[in-house]
Amino acid sequence: MIQGSIDIIVFSDNSDFNSIFSGGISKVNTYIHLSEKDDAGFHKLGSHKFDLIIVDISQPLVSEIQFIEKLYSLNTSIPIVIVSEYFTETKDIVFGNKVSEFISKPLTAEKLYNTIHDTITTFHKSGRINEAATPENSEDKKKLSVLFEISKYLNSINNFDELLSTIIKLSQDAFDVERATLFVYDKKSNELWSKAGSGIKTKEIRFPVTSGIAGETALHRKSIITNNPYRHPSFNSGIDAKTGFITRNIISVPLLNLRGDVVGVFQLLNKRNNQFTPDDEIFLRAIGSTVAVSLENILLHEENRKRYEEIQELYDSLYTAQNMIVWETKHSLLSELRGYFSELKNFDSVNDSINDLKELVGNDVIKLGILDRIDGAHKKILSKIYGRLSEDLENLEIESLQNEIS
């Protein structure tokens, strides 16, 4: 067991973690300090002595790696524990010796308690975080790890709008740019369009594939880097004039599927504190390969969903039309049946005629017998007709009319 109380600072943007942290440390005398990943959090870390740092990584962002590196540079003597579903296979490449423990999600109270206990116990015994420092990994290896995690992340998304917004956020973070836009190529209209983009208020942008740097990228299937866009012949400065945005530099790469067909264009604008380089192009094209496959799968899924909805709508229309036909048929038949019953009432005069004849023939047995047979046949015919019509009405489930004619 851990002796004495311990102070833990938790960096997380996930409010659901509060209950898990409280349950996971209820067995020990621990004080939890929740903080966001910002300057206020770093200030809190520097103004108080903590025994453990826990960081929740909710997305495979480059900024998350940079956050861990900054934490480690400021406090090499405090163990760091990461909680994440990402970087599980590549944690040694990405974080090296900066992290003491790694908890894979889903997070449970038992996992959290055991990790806290083991980390604090090991640190108290050895007096240091790691037995030996591992060599610093190159930025290229870290980028490959981020690319690997981004691929897994994107392939888990099956909603079109969510995919677009996620791609924008990840790329904006990875390249530290002011604006990012993903354009989808519409084969039918031969246009590029977008529903999402950082810093863009318009819900949808649509223009011919022959227009602008994005159009040139799609037509020629080649990347374009310009650190002076106003001198580029394909640059459309009219958009800047309308929005008030000033474009300083652009990188634009085509999104190609496995067959080499263009499915869209990925464009980043205004890299902060720097210019776009050929290395940025290589990294963005690598991300673009994953994006293209995910995008095409989502578009196919969306197309199938729309077709299903159209078929369902057609089926509902046919079902409604069928019910209308049945309803009209029933009411048409009922109208005819009412006419039949009206006419059948005329047969009541037959009984009166037979009775009058019986009075005229007097006691003539032969004539009375003939009249009785006529009367019996008449009643038998009426009985069959009424029975058949009543059965038809019952099949039509019109009880009110049955009561009316009975």
Do 121 and 235 belong to one domain? no
Do 293 and 271 belong to one domain? yes
Beta carbons of 87 and 57 less than 8 angstroms apart: yes
Do 105 and 165 belong to one domain? no
Which has the closest alpha carbon to 144: 174, 168, 176? 174
Among 105, 120, 137, residue at a domain's last position: 137
Token readout for 238 is 């009219």
With 0.95 as the threshold, say if the pTM is over it: no
Has residue 315 been placed in a domain? no
Do 58 and 79 belong to one domain? yes
Has residue 1 been placed in a domain? no
Dist CA 64 CA 60 (whole Å): 7
Token readout for 197 is 């983009």
φ/ψ of residue 163, rounded to 5: -60, -45
Q: Residues near 46 by Cβ (< 8 Å), separated by ≥ 6?
A: 74
User: What is the predicted pLDDT for the residue at 80?
Assistant: 92
Has residue 374 been placed in a domain? yes
Do 238 and 338 belong to one domain? no
Mean pLDDT of the chain: 79
Q: How many CA atoms lie within 13 A of 151 on its CB side?
A: 15
Instruction: Give the sign of the dihedral formed by CA 396, CA 397, CA 403, CA 406.
Output: positive
Do 93 and 175 belong to one domain? no
Residue 298 pLDDT exceeds 90 = no
Centre a 10 Å sphere on the Cβ of residue 97 and count the other Cβ atoms it contains. 16
* Placement of tokens 């405090």 in the chain: 78
What angle is formed at CA 199 by the lines to CA 193 and CA 204, rounded to 5 degrees?
25
User: What is the predicted pLDDT for the residue at 27?
Assistant: 53
**What 3-state DSSP class applies to 35?**
strand
Q: Encode pLDDT of 163-178 as tens digits.
A: 888 888 888 888 889 9
Which has the closest alpha carbon to 266: 172, 188, 356? 172
Has residue 192 been placed in a domain? yes
Residue 76 pLDDT exceeds 50 = yes
Beta carbons of 354 and 377 less than 8 angstroms apart: no
State the average pLDDT over residues 200-211. 76
Residue 159 pLDDT exceeds 50 = yes
Do 155 and 256 belong to one domain? yes
Provide the domain limits for residue 164.
Answer: 140-308
CATH number at residue 195: 3.30.450.40
Residue 271 pLDDT exceeds 90 = yes
Do 148 and 215 belong to one domain? yes
Do 149 and 298 belong to one domain? yes
At 78, the amino acid letter reads I
Do 290 and 228 belong to one domain? yes
The secondary element (H helix, E strand) that includes residue 355 is helix 348-361
Stretch among 45-59, 184-198, 223-237, 371-385 having the lowest mean pLDDT: 371-385
What angle is formed at CA 238 by the lines to CA 237 and CA 241, rounded to 5 degrees?
95
Has residue 332 been placed in a domain? yes
* CA 90 and chain centroid, separation: 28
At 325, the amino acid letter reads I
Do 173 and 228 belong to one domain? yes
Which neighbouring-strand residues pair with 180?
268
Q: Residues near 290 by Cβ (< 8 Å), separated by ≥ 6?
A: 147, 150, 151, 154, 155
Has residue 335 been placed in a domain? yes
φ/ψ of residue 216, rounded to 5: -60, -40
Q: Encode pLDDT of 119-142 as tens digits.
A: 888 876 665 554 444 455 567 777
Instruction: Give the sign of the dihedral formed by CA 233, CA 235, CA 236, CA 238.
Output: negative
